[in-house]
Structure 1
Amino acid sequence: MNITIISVGKIKEKYLKDAIEEYSKRLKRYCKLDIVELSDEKTPDNASKKEELQIKAKEGEAILKQIKENMFVIALDLKGKMISSEDLAFFIEDLGIKGESNLAFVIGGSLGLSQEVLERANYKLCFSKMTFPHQLFRVMLLEQVYRGFRIIKGEPYHK
């Protein structure tokens, strides 16, 4: 299985880079992983709704350029469906069985994802109603994908 993480925003903190590297290394046993890091647009303080939409649209264009036609796109969105770790594992496994072997998880910038990206998504996933920094969220996503593969393979890790 090929998994691509398309994420807006650069990782600056060493501890987050280390965690991403660790989970990327662990995932090599289960899938081909590609992480695409896109620049985020600067959001001025007190940005108007129009400015926010323009920023999301610009980030969205960059995201859409990274999505290949054969990818099953999973957008990380606060309005998406919340599922358990087990359900995510079975969802990934089921996609593989159905021949969807190119998955793309999309993490937006601080303002979220553009409408165009959400419309391209095949599935919208929500981890929590809480808001997380998108840099930290990349680590959380990788951990859950890793946990999912461990569950699929019946290997110890998940408790």
Structure 2
Amino acid sequence: MRLHLCAVGRLRSGPERDLLDDYATRFDRTGRALSLGPLVQHEVEDKRGGGMGAEAELLARAVPAGALLAVLDERGAVLSSPELAQLLAGWRDGGRQDVAFVIGGADGIAPELRGRADFALSFGRMVWPHMLVRVMLAEQLYRAASILAGSPYHRV
């Protein structure tokens, strides 16, 4: 099952980019044997300043046809790492070919795109910088794959 990280904005070189690339590589290595991955990154940028609506259109175009749409939203489900691992395994075992995790820009995700989501995931009620959320998601995907692989990376 391919995973897609669709996000507003370009993540330039720096510590966030380094961490994101590191966790994506770890996920790809660990997930391969589990039929998870690769993690494909799609960055979109609204250069015309159209706001959340324009960002939503660009994000929707980045989501592969037929993909399960999972948005990162503060109103979404708050899961433990093992619960996320089981969710991914369930989607995979249910025959999903693609899952797209969508991260909005600084103002969030437009309601019309959020309303089309099959699932909404939250990293808690706090607001996180959208660039950092990419790193947090990639780490949690790697952690989920590690849990499913029985790796000692995740400790309870």
**TM-score normalised by the chain length of structure 1:** 0.88
Gaps of 5+ in 2: 32-36
Runs of 5+ in structure 1 lacking a partner?
Answer: 44-53
Separation in structure 1 between the aligned mates of residue 106 and residue 48 of structure 2, nearest angstrom: 10
Deviation at 1:11, TM superposition (A): 1.5
**CA displacement at 1:32 relative to structure 2:** 1.1
Contact 2:46 2:54 (C-alpha < 8 Å) held by counterparts: no
Cα distance between partner residues in 2 of 1:144 and 1:42: 33
Aligned residues: 149
Which of 99, 119, 128 matches 1:123?
119
33-42 or 130-139: which moved more? Answer: 33-42
Q: Identity over the aligned pairs, expressed in percent?
A: 33
Among residues 141, 144, 152, which one is paired with 1:145 in the alignment?
A: 141
Aligned to 1:66: 62
C-alpha offsets along residues 52-97 of structure 1, whole Å, 9 cap, x if unaligned? xx61111001011112221011100111111111100000001111
Whichever residue aligns with residue 43 of structure 2, its letter is E
Question: Which residue pairs with 2:42 in the alignment?
Answer: 36
Residue 100 of structure 1 pairs with residue 61 of structure 2: no
Q: Partner of 1:129: helix, strand, or coil? A: coil
Secondary structure of 1:112's match? coil
Q: Which amino acid is 1:17 matched to?
A: R
2-structure distance, mates of 1:40, 1:112: 14
Calculate the TM-score normalised by the size of structure 2: 0.90
Please tell me the residue identity of whatever aligns with 1:8. V
For 1:149 and 1:21, locate their aligned partners in 2 and report how far apart those are by CA, in whole Å: 16
How large is the Cα RMSD of the aligned pairs?
Answer: 1.5
